[in-house]
Structure 1
Amino acid sequence: MSGRLLTLSRRLFGWLPRTIQTRPGEWLRAATGVGVAVACTFWLSDLLYGNNTAMILLGPAGASAVLLFVVSSGALAQPWPVLGSYLLAGVIGIAALHLPLPPLPLSWLLVGAVASVVLGMSLLRCLHPPACALVLVVVLAGDLLRPLGGWLLLPVMLNACCLLFCATLYNNLTGVRYPKQMPRADLHHTRDILPGQRVGFTEEDLDRALDQFGSFVDITRHDLEQIIRDTESSALRRKMGDIRAEQIMSRDIRTVGPDTTVMQAIRIFRHHHVKTLPVVDSEGVVQGITSLGDLLAQLDLPMGRMLPTRINLWRDQPLHKVMTTPVVTVDGQTHVVDMIPLMSNQGLHCLPVLDNGQLVGLVTQTDVIAALHRDLVSHLA
C-alpha cells in the first residue's frame, strides 16, 4: 500500500512547476516584447483589413508572440516554422470555407482542418502550434471571413511577417540573437571540422541520438550542441582545478605603438621569436594586435616594374593601418578551459590579459599547452 502511495505522490509532484532557468529581468524583457509585437500586429491589421478581421486573427498572433519572445531559441519559434505554418493554416482554412465539401458536422470539419495542419507542418518541417489555433479560428469565424475569399491569406501572412519583424528587431536590440541559426566558422577554408569538435561527440553522434530519441525536441540543433559542449566544459573546468590566466601568462611582453612601422615590427618578430605583438598607446591601453599573418596579408603585390617601390611603401606602413582590431582579451581570472576554444576554434595565437583596462600579460598557445601538460602529469601521478 505504501508503495502505491509513493508512486501516486511522485506522479502528482510531476504536475508541479519546474524550476525556471531564466532571470526576472528576462521575464520583463520578453513580456515587453510580446506586448509591443501584439499591439503593432493588431494596429497594422486593423488599419489595412478592418477591426473584425484584426480581432479574429489576434488570438493566434498572441500565442506566436509568446514563442518568438519568451522561447526565441526554440525550433518552434524560428522564421520558417512561423511563415510556413501560417501559410499552411491559411490555405487549409480557405479551402474549408470555400471548397464544395459534403455536409459535415462542424466538429468533424474542425477535426479535419486541425489534423491537416499538423500533418502538413510535420511534412514541411514548420511545426508551430499557434497555426492550429489559426485554422480553428478561421473555420469558426467562417461567416465573417468568407467574404474575403482567397484574399484572407493576405491578413494571415501580414500577421506572421509583422511578428517576425518585431521579434528580429526587438530581440537583437535587447541582446538576444534571433534567428538562432548560426554559420560555422571556416578560418582555413578547408573541409576540416573545428579543432574543438574533433574530440568528444561529433555531429553524426548528435544526429544518431536525435534519431533514437524519436520525439520532437523544441530546441534548435545548434543550441542543443552548444548546451552539451558547455556541459562538457563545465565538467572539465571542475576536473582541471584552478588554472587561471594570471598563473600561466607571460608578464615581460614585447609591445609596439600604433606608429611603429612594418619593418620595425619585423625586426622585433625576428629578435624575440614571437608571432604576435600587442599594439598599445602611450597609456598602455591595447589598441590592436598585429601578427605575421597580418603583415603578409598586406603584401598582396602584383608582379611588375613597380614592385620594389610597392615593397618599400609596405615596409614604411604604420601598424595602425594593418593591425587587427578589436582585440579578443581576457582577465587574470579567466580559466584555461575558457581560453582553449578561443585559440582552437577562432584561430587566435595569443590572448592579451587586461587588469582595469591595462595590459598586464599575454597568454600564448605555448603557455596553454604547458599548463595542460602540467595538469595531465599531476593527474597521472
Structure 2
Amino acid sequence: MSSPRASSRLLRWLPAPLNIPARQWLRAGIGAFLGLFLAGWLCSMAFGTSVALHLLGPLAASAVLVFAVHSGPLAQPWPVLGSYACAGIVGLAMRHGFGDALWVAAAALAVSIAVMCVLRCLHPPGGGVAASAVLADPGLVSLGDHLLQPILLNALILVVVGIVYNRLTGVRYPKLAAPRKDLHHTHDPLPGTRVGISGEDLDQALEGIGEFVDVSRDELERIIEATEQHALHRSLGGITAASVMSRDVQFASPRTTLEQAWKMLDGHHLKTLPVLDAGRLVGIVSLSDLVAPAMARAGFSWRRKPVRMAQVMSRRVVSVSSRHPLERLLPLLSEQGLHCLPVLDGDSLVGVITQTDLIAGLKRHLLSGVARSDQRVPAL
C-alpha cells in the first residue's frame, strides 16, 4: 500500500507535459539561434564585442520567449521593446544615483517590474537588462547613457527576426486579437457566443484568480473554443453531412430566368438555389441576389431582355463533402451568414444542407440521447 502512495506522491512533483510537438522544438531552436546570433553580431559590429557579450544573457532569455512561447503575452513585440527600454532607463538611473552595489541591482529589478506592469510590457528578461545596466563593467560604464543604444538595438533586431522567421515557418506573430465578424452590423454578439462562455466570463475568471496568468484572454478563448469543438465532436458521435442533407435538390441553370427562379423558390419554400451547368456546380443564388433585379424590373416591359441567373448568381460557393462532420457545419450556417451548403462528392452535387436540415438533425440527435438516458434509468 505504501508503494503506490509513494509513487503517486512522486508523480505530483513531476513537471506537467508541455504539449509542444517535436517539430516545434526544432523550429524554436533554429529561430532562437538566428535571432541571438544576428543581434549579438550586429551589436558587436556597432559597439564592440565586450558590450555585445555583456548584454547577451537577457537577450538569450528573450529569444526563448519570442521563438518557443511566441503566442504568450510576454513574448509579443511591445513587451520585448518596452521592457528593454524602461529597464535600461531604470538601471542606468539607479547606477548613476546609488552606484553599482548588489542591493542597487536588486532595487532596479523591483522598480523595473513595477514600471513594466504599469506600461503593460512585462517581460522577464527585462529584469536582467536592469541588473546588467547596474552591474556593467568599466568598459560599458564609459558609454554612459549611450548604453541604452545597444540595449534597444538588441531588442529591435530580435523582434524583427522573430516576426520574419515565425511567419516564414507558419506561425502568426505578433499575436493580434482576431477581428469580430459582424455580418449584420449590429451590437449583438455572434450567435455561437450568446450561450456559453463569454469574454466577460473570461475577464471575471482571470480577475478572480488574483495572480498573473501567462496566457492572453484571446488565446484562452481560442483554447476553450477548440476544447468545446473536440467535446462536440465526441458527443455528436460521428454524424456527417450525408446524414442530414436533402437529396432531392432543386437547382437552376445559368440560363434560368429571374421569373423562373422566383417560382422555384416560392413553390418549394426555399431561400437559395444551387446553379448547375452541365451537372457542375458553378454558382448559387439566394433571395437577396434576386431582390435588386426584381425591383429594377418593377416597370415591366416586354422589350426588356430577361435576367438570367448567370448575371446575378454568386460564383464563390462554400461547399462541403458528404463526409463533413456535423460540428464543422454549425459555424458555417450559424455565424457566416450562409443559408444553404451544397454537398459535393467530387464534382457531383449529391445534396444540400439548409439551416432547417441542420436543426432537424440536431433535434434527432438530442431526442436519441434522451431516449438512451431513459433506458438507463430503471422504472420505479
Normalization by structure 2: what TM-score?
0.82
Query: Which residue in the other structure is 1:137 paired with?
Result: 132
Question: Per-residue CA shift, 1:5-27, capped at 9, x if unaligned?
Answer: 947x5554344232231222222
Query: Which residue in the other structure is 1:275 paired with?
Result: 271
Work out which of the residue numbers 326, 338, 341 in structure 2 matches 1:336: 326
**Which piece of structure 1 moves more, 39-48 or 205-214?**
39-48
Q: Name the CA distance, whole Å, in 2 between partners of 1:298 and 1:77.
A: 53
Work out which of the residue numbers 53, 58, 61 in structure 1 matches 2:59: 61
**SS of the residue 1:100 aligns to:** helix
* Residue 150 to residue 298, structure 1, CA distance change in 2 (3 Å): farther
**2:363 matches 1:373:** yes
Query: Which residue in the other structure is 2:375 paired with?
Result: none
Question: Per-residue CA shift, 1:198-218, capped at 9, x if unaligned?
Answer: 111222222221111112111
Question: CA shift at 1:324, angstroms?
Answer: 5.5
**Which piece of structure 1 moves more, 64-73 or 151-160?**
151-160
Work out which of the residue numbers 36, 46, 49 in structure 2 matches 1:48: 46
Question: CA shift at 1:71, angstroms?
Answer: 1.5
Q: Name the CA distance, whole Å, in 2 between partners of 1:339 and 1:249.
A: 11
Question: CA shift at 1:333, angstroms?
Answer: 2.8
Contact residue 263 and residue 316 of structure 1 kept, 8 A: no
Residue pairs, 1:1-381, within 5 angstroms = 6=5, 10=8, 12-97=10-95, 99-101=96-98, 106-180=101-175, 181-254=177-250, 269=265, 272-278=268-274, 284=280, 289-293=284-288, 315=307, 318-319=310-311, 323=314, 325=316, 327-356=317-346, 359-381=349-371
Question: Per-residue CA shift, 1:150-196, capped at 9, x if unaligned?
Answer: 33333322222222222222223322222222222122111101111
The residue type equivalent to 1:335 in the other structure is: P
Q: Name the CA distance, whole Å, in 1 between partners of 2:145 and 2:307.
A: 68
Normalization by structure 1: what TM-score?
0.81
**Which piece of structure 1 moves more, 257-266 or 338-347?**
257-266
Query: Which residue in the other structure is 1:304 paired with?
Result: none
Question: Per-residue CA shift, 1:322-349, capped at 9, x if unaligned?
Answer: 6253x44433333222221222222222
**SS of the residue 2:343 aligns to:** strand
Contact residue 92 and residue 116 of structure 1 kept, 8 A: yes
Question: Per-residue CA shift, 1:83-138, capped at 9, x if unaligned?
Answer: 221111121122133x333x56x210111111111122222222111111222222
Q: Name the CA distance, whole Å, in 2 between partners of 1:73 and 1:261.
A: 52
Q: Which runs of 5+ in 1 are unaligned?
A: 302-306
Q: Name the CA distance, whole Å, in 1 between partners of 2:142 and 2:257.
A: 75
The residue type equivalent to 2:172 in the other structure is: R
Contact residue 258 and residue 294 of structure 2 kept, 8 A: no
**SS of the residue 1:191 aligns to:** coil
- CA RMSD, aligned part only? 3.5
Which has more radius of gyration?
2
